Amino acid sequence: MSGNNLVLPIVLWGRTAPTHCISSLLVMDNFSTVITGCHDGQICIWDMTPELEICPRAMLFGHTASITCLAKASACSDKQYIVSASENGEMCLWDVNDGRCIEFTKLACAHTGIQFYRFTIGTEKEGRLLCNGHYPEILVVDATSLEVLYYLVSKISPDWISSMSIIRSHRTQEDTVVAVSVTGILKVWIITSEVSKIQDLDPVFEEESKPIYCQGCQSISFCTFTQSSLLVVCSKYWRVFDAVDYSLLCSVSSESDQAWTGGEFIAADRVIIWTEDGCSYIYKLPASCLPASEHYRSDVGKTKEGSIPPLVYSIADRQDKQLLICPPVTRFFFGRREPFHKLLIQGDSAGRLSLWSVPDNSPLQPLSTAAGRDQFSGDKAVCPYCD
Amino acid sequence: MLNPQRSLSELPKMSAASQVERAVLEEEFNWLLKEEVHAVLKQLQDVLKEASRRFSMPTPGLESQLKQENFILGSSTMDQVKGVLTLQGEALTQADINLKVAKSSQVLHFQFREDKMWKLQQIQDARNHVNQALGLLGSRDESYHFKTGAEVNKLMDAVMLQLTRARNRLTTPASMTLPELATSGLMKMFTPPMPGDVMVNFYINLSKLCLTVYQLHVLPPNTTKNYRPAGSSVLHNPGAMFELNNNRFEVSQVHKVECVVPWLNDTLVFFTISLQLCQQLKDKVSVFSSFWNYRPF
């Protein structure tokens, strides 16, 4: 945009909407918006009603390669910002409300994961973005300017980070970043959420480096219910670790050829794990993983793989599923406000979003399915404006 | 195929023939998805597993058990710089450098300090990209049923992206500015300490391990030379200038010596073969998609 003229890009399409082969997924905190990124680089903004019905609202153009990750990027609830990263190192900051691209940068390497970290400087709430990808450290990026501020580096066996999780401490200002490297080493860094005006921007070295022999780690998540365990999902098995001394509490291998692609704690004693072909399974954790149980930590030190814990529910292949050309993306989100939904959401290569509500005791309720292409079709002109 | 001289009576025969042709094509396509794709993927996996093996992936805690290889870097024409570098996996664990100072018979000798090593990020990145490619192929073995050509193409695109990246990491060393080289941790790793007028850099270029040595001289403050700071480069030339800590320097001599690392050469060959296999499979699939899209008349 140059001079005094405002240039509004407009996107038009014919009877069939553009393809949207979903590669990443994000549900905003207020549960009223869902963002999906696709392999062609476009981002779709969907509105979600309180009854959890979804409808696509806008499409954002700007990236030139497939979207690898999406994360929220604003600390205050009045600003709805997200950050997107693509395969060729591009990072964009978007305003979800009007689809504007606020900031753009291009780094040398691709990110495979970004997490928002809320930060306080004095009384101001700021945000930082912790990024991991095809490089051997974790980048701490300013959420407004997308500038790299400093690095979390490893002294011992520095290598690419497969997945990471931020564990916020309720008691102190020191939070923990727990990550697993591609060679299966667990790394722990301490970062502070409150800094003085003069910020220390030297690289931060790891507090701990422990081999946990988890190769091909797909996700790591902290149990916010018990505040004492970590779930690590790898393609061939999932494991629960003690979050204090990182000892192995239980290990479950996959029964068939299914490859696990992620998982989350959905209750103090339950986990949901999903596979590459879009199925999800809810397991009840064995007693050795539950702090409340007398058998807690009873399997620590034993090397044999445990038996498969009881399966509470499973979401299997749907007959009406269209032919998928690549693995779907599955994520789990907790609602932060009434009615505190626990939502399992999946986006597939047909541009379709499927939602399931995970209630506490009774089986899963499939909710709604929305297909972007069907809803976008028709002779509509949509104008998301992006710089 | 549109031949206006063909008589109208031939039209029914032609549509019947094209129907038969279509049926045959469908069968061929099914064969491709069921048999050929898996045969190619198996070949691809075998080649990439060989490539991955060359990188000798360290087991956590057992890094010291990786084999050490020594490489003698020198030039046949000039002997100002000679180096013996020890490569263990993706790190240089020892660098024995002899540097003949210009216009004197003095030979400077440097070595890494005790227990210091210099990681060659290019090798680690290439190794990780190969493993990413293997990961993508891992769940697509004989038992997996491909339903469409688009699925095969998507998988091939993803694998090719990782392999291209792996190859690029080896063929494109990082560009650095001279101040970045001067302040890099590498300068502090030697014993005796590197004098202020010598800088070294290590990198991988294709299958070669390279050592570059820069000899500098300080530019006097009232020099007549036009000061122009040099930008980022893989290899700087004599005459390049930079400023550091209020002193201005000019590169007076540049020496580059290299040595081929045989296993890196192997991996580059494997990358080429794998990329060809992927592209050929994509081409086979596209033969059919062009038929589906073709509409006679």
* pLDDT interval class at A365 (50, 70, 90): low
ipTM for the complex shown: 0.88
User: What confidence score (pLDDT) does residue A350 get?
Assistant: 86
pLDDT digits (tens, 9 = 90+) for B275-287: 999 999 999 998 8
Percent of chain A with pLDDT over 70: 86
Whether omega for the bond prior to residue A339 falls within 30 degrees of 0, making it cis, is yes
Tell me how crowded residue A253 is: count the other CB atoms within 10 A of its CB: 13
Residue type, A269: D
Min Cα distance A246 → chain B (Å) is 16
pLDDT digits (tens, 9 = 90+) for A251-288: 888 877 788 999 999 988 899 999 988 889 988 888 88
What residues of B are in contact with residue A66 (Cβ under 8 Å)? Answer: none
What residues of A are in contact with residue B91 (Cβ under 8 Å)? Answer: none
What residues of B are in contact with residue A39 (Cβ under 8 Å)? Answer: 154
What is the pLDDT averaged over residues A86-112? Answer: 93
Min Cα distance A26 → chain B (Å) is 22
Which residues, other chains included, contact A315 with Cβ-Cβ below 8 Å and sequence gap of 6+?
A279, A280, A281, A344, A356, A364, A366
Whether A83 and A42 have beta carbons less than 8 Å apart is answered as no
Q: Which residues of A touch B (CB under 8 A)?
A: 21, 39, 87, 134-136, 157-160, 182-185, 211, 213, 216, 235, 257, 259, 276, 323-326, 349
Residue of chain A with shortest Cα separation from B150: A325
Residue of chain A with shortest Cα separation from B58: A183
A–B CB contacts, 8 A cutoff, strictly below: 54
Q: What mean pLDDT value characterizes chain A?
A: 84
Helix (H/G/I), strand (E/B), else coil: A138: strand
Q: Which of B117, B119, B128 to mutate to test the interface with A (most CBs of A within 10 A)?
A: B128
Tell me how crowded residue B218 is: count the other CB atoms within 10 A of its CB: 12
Burial of A290 (0-12, 13-18, 19+ CB in 10 A): buried
Residue of chain B with shortest Cα separation from A110: B165
Residue of chain A with shortest Cα separation from B91: A157
pLDDT digits (tens, 9 = 90+) for B241-251: 998 888 889 99
Rounded Cα gap, residues A119 and B245, in angstroms: 34
Q: Are B135 and A213 in contact (CB < 8 Å)?
A: no
Which residues, other chains included, contact A312 with Cβ-Cβ below 8 Å and sequence gap of 6+?
A270, A282, A283, A284, A363
What residues of A are in contact with residue B61 (Cβ under 8 Å)? Answer: 211
Tell me how crowded residue B106 is: count the other CB atoms within 10 A of its CB: 9
What residues of B are in contact with residue A235 (Cβ under 8 Å)? Answer: 135, 138-139
Strand A124-133's sheet: what is its strand order? A194-195, A111-121, A124-133, A135-142, A148-153, A204-205
Q: Are A183 and B57 in contact (CB < 8 Å)?
A: yes
pTM for the predicted model, two decimal places: 0.88
Buried b / exposed e across A178-199, counting CB within 10 Å, b at 16+? bbbbbbbbbbbbbbebeeeeee
Q: Which of A88, A325, A329 to mutate to test the interface with B (most CBs of B within 10 A)?
A: A325
What residues of B are in contact with residue A323 (Cβ under 8 Å)? Answer: 147-148, 151
Min Cα distance A13 → chain B (Å) is 21
Q: Are B151 and A87 in contact (CB < 8 Å)?
A: no
Residue of chain B with shortest Cα separation from A349: B151
Does B292 or B297 have the greater pLDDT score? B292
Residue whose C-alpha is closest to residue B75's, from B58, B100, B57, B54: B100
pLDDT digits (tens, 9 = 90+) for B258-268: 999 999 999 99
What residues of B are in contact with residue A157 (Cβ under 8 Å)? Answer: 58, 60, 63
